[in-house]
Chain A
Amino acid sequence: MAIFLISSVSQGIIGMYSKMIKTDGDIIITQKGIADTFFSNVDIRLLDKINKIANIKSSYGVVVGASPIAKIPIAGVYGVSRNHFNHYELLDGRYPKDGEVILGKTLSKQIQSKSVKIGSKYFKITGSYLSDIGFEAGGVVMNISDAGKLFNRSSSFILVSVDNPSKIDSIIKLISGLDDNIEVKTTKSFVQDYNQFKIIENSSFVISSLAFAMGLMGIASVMSMIVNSRKEEFGIMRALGKSRFFIIKNLFFETVIMSFSAYMFALILSLIILSILPHIEMLQGYVNGSLSIITASYVLVSTLFMALLGTLIPAWFASKTDPIILINQGCS
């Protein structure tokens, strides 16, 4: 279950951020040489020049930050250009003007006041919005100029949508030529190369692999203990004329059935937990999970392999022992 949950949650975090970027644009512009979008600063005035390039459908700037909001220790703050507000589906109220914010659905359940303190400044709450991305649902949206002042930058990145996807490479070249201090990529390649995702992925892989390895050792030990505790039974069967093959074959099928049942139990339990996590208010929807078929298959194969290893090795040694010794070992 550990590998299911750890991998799923890390994949969920990556998935949420990827979705946020991918659904909003085809091209992303960040500051050159900056590893994390949180530290990136791109001049928002570039938007005017970008919009003059042919085949540009829309473009807008985003400031991404995180800050304590009211009593919430940390929440996402998204400053966006006005032309991008319609990305956030209003549940009630209206989109914010300067000095105002709208709250994500999850956050709005926790903050009932008319205004909210973000950083050192108070913002009027003008409504709430819906988003299926946990980071957004648990955050606030404001004008990019307000967010720029809060986090001391023009924009964290600029997202550009194009009319014609076949022209994307030439558009990237044109945008790159506008400023020496920017890095322009397709959102797809950005997500693939993004260092933070690699760090999350690698560390979750290490943690879940360690947890999984311990789990597998546990499975092998338990199976081995079960087999050892049944030595008397194997001795009796051998005394009654049952062959080594008969005993090992029975153990093989028992192990496969037991391991598969345990696997299904862990999988279903993990899926239930993962479906509950986004709705836990305390987590603000930030902890989300998505379980891949590859992970599920990998866990299944490894579980079966280790369970069979833990069963068949002691069973093989037991099958080579004189039956009366097995019976006496079982009695002692």
Chain B
Amino acid sequence: MIKASNISHFYSDEQVLYDISLEVKQGDFIFLSGDSGSGKSTLLSILSTLLEPSKGEVFLDSTSVDKINNIDMFRQNKIGFVFQFHFLINYLSVYENIELAALKSKKQNIKTILKELGISDLEKRYPNEISGGQRQRVALARALVNEPSIIFADEPTGSLDSKNSTLVYELLSNASKNKTTVIVASHDMQIKDYATSTIRMVDGKIS
């Protein structure tokens, strides 16, 4: 499903990833753990096609990312993202933020997902009119709307309280049970209870 082969990455002259190879199967829930600066966010960005590695190759569904003709379309069809700071667009309403990510054929999912996540009454509100926990649920709804085969989450509960964190993990866990591959980079050890396996990063290497 996801295969990384000899990935190395540099920011200017500084090397942050060292020759990383890994394989993740469909439906796995992977906990990417490590201290700050260990390289887990960089690895997550490379696996999710948001960052081109300095060296090495990433395969998604057995296809090399370098050989994908329309990477934007591929991302929209196959990948969902959840970031620490939700990254909703402030001038769009909750509904419009999700609609922006939705494929034409998946727009009918928006209302259902909003309902499942308990935020259907917020659809007309703007991100600055809702709480942090609600924003993260909107970000999750945006990631799930196209029923992606992979979800990448970078510190998705970093700015949430324990109640909202548990809710996010449960939602990701449910997605994983429905054959969606989930990779979460986090400091929060609570996620271990939901993950099927853990990859620990230390100084840019898998330990």
Q: Do A and B bind each other?
A: yes
> A residues within 8 Å of B by Cβ?
232-233, 236-244, 322-325, 327, 331
- Taking the closest CB of chain B, its distance from the CB of A258, in whole angstroms, is 14
Binds A, one of B23-31, B74-82, B174-182, B197-205: B74-82
- Please tell me which one of the listed residues B52, B85, B101 contacts residue A322 in the complex, with CB atoms under 8 A apart: B52
Please provide the chain B residues from 108 to 164 with a CB less than 8 Å away from any CB of chain A in the complex: 142
Please provide the chain B residues from 81 to 111 with a CB less than 8 Å away from any CB of chain A in the complex: 81, 83, 85, 87, 89, 100-101
Asked if B72 CB lies within 8 Å of chain A CBs, one says yes
Contact residues in B for A233 (Cβ distance below 8 Å): 89
Whether B77 contacts A241 by the Cβ 8 Å rule is: yes
- Please tell me which one of the listed residues B50, B70, B73, B89 contacts residue A323 in the complex, with CB atoms under 8 A apart: B50
* Alpha-carbon distance between A240 and B72 when the two chains are bound, in angstroms: 8
* Alpha-carbon distance between A244 and B73 when the two chains are bound, in angstroms: 11
Contact residues in B for A323 (Cβ distance below 8 Å): 50-51
Asked if B45 CB lies within 8 Å of chain A CBs, one says yes
Give the residue name and chain of the A residue nearest to B91 (CB): A233
Contact residues in A for B72 (Cβ distance below 8 Å): 238, 241-244
Whether B75 contacts A236 by the Cβ 8 Å rule is: no
Give the residue name and chain of the A residue nearest to B145 (CB): A240
* Alpha-carbon distance between A244 and B100 when the two chains are bound, in angstroms: 14
* Alpha-carbon distance between A72 and B76 when the two chains are bound, in angstroms: 74
Whether B101 contacts A241 by the Cβ 8 Å rule is: yes
Contact residues in B for A324 (Cβ distance below 8 Å): 45, 50-51
Whether A325 contacts B51 by the Cβ 8 Å rule is: yes
* Alpha-carbon distance between A232 and B83 when the two chains are bound, in angstroms: 12
Whether B75 contacts A240 by the Cβ 8 Å rule is: yes
* Alpha-carbon distance between A232 and B85 when the two chains are bound, in angstroms: 12
- Taking the closest CB of chain B, its distance from the CB of A210, in whole angstroms, is 37
Shortest beta-carbon contacts, A-B, top 10: A241-B76, A324-B50, A324-B45, A240-B101, A241-B75, A243-B72, A323-B50, A324-B51, A322-B51, A236-B87
Give the residue name and chain of the A residue nearest to B92 (CB): A233
Whether B51 contacts A240 by the Cβ 8 Å rule is: no
Contact residues in B for A322 (Cβ distance below 8 Å): 45, 50-52
> B residues within 8 Å of A by Cβ?
45, 50-52, 70, 72-77, 79, 81, 83, 85, 87, 89, 100-101, 142
Question: Can you add 10 more A-B contacts, CB < 8 Å, to A232-B87, A238-B75, A239-B75?
Answer: A237-B89, A239-B87, A240-B100, A241-B77, A244-B72, A322-B51, A324-B51, A325-B51, A327-B83, A331-B85
* Alpha-carbon distance between A241 and B77 when the two chains are bound, in angstroms: 8
Give the residue name and chain of the A residue nearest to B45 (CB): A324
Whether B87 contacts A327 by the Cβ 8 Å rule is: yes
Contact residues in A for B89 (Cβ distance below 8 Å): 233, 236-237
* Alpha-carbon distance between A239 and B51 when the two chains are bound, in angstroms: 10
Give the residue name and chain of the A residue nearest to B84 (CB): A331
Whether B81 contacts A240 by the Cβ 8 Å rule is: yes
* Alpha-carbon distance between A241 and B50 when the two chains are bound, in angstroms: 10
- Taking the closest CB of chain B, its distance from the CB of A23, in whole angstroms, is 56
* Alpha-carbon distance between A322 and B89 when the two chains are bound, in angstroms: 19
- Taking the closest CB of chain A, its distance from the CB of B30, in whole angstroms, is 19
Give the residue name and chain of the B residue nearest to A242 (CB): B72
* Alpha-carbon distance between A239 and B88 when the two chains are bound, in angstroms: 12
What are 23 of the A-B contact pairs (CB < 8 Å)?
A233-B89, A236-B87, A237-B100, A238-B50, A238-B72, A238-B75, A239-B50, A239-B75, A240-B81, A240-B142, A241-B74, A241-B77, A241-B79, A242-B100, A322-B45, A322-B50, A322-B51, A322-B52, A323-B50, A324-B50, A324-B51, A325-B51, A327-B87
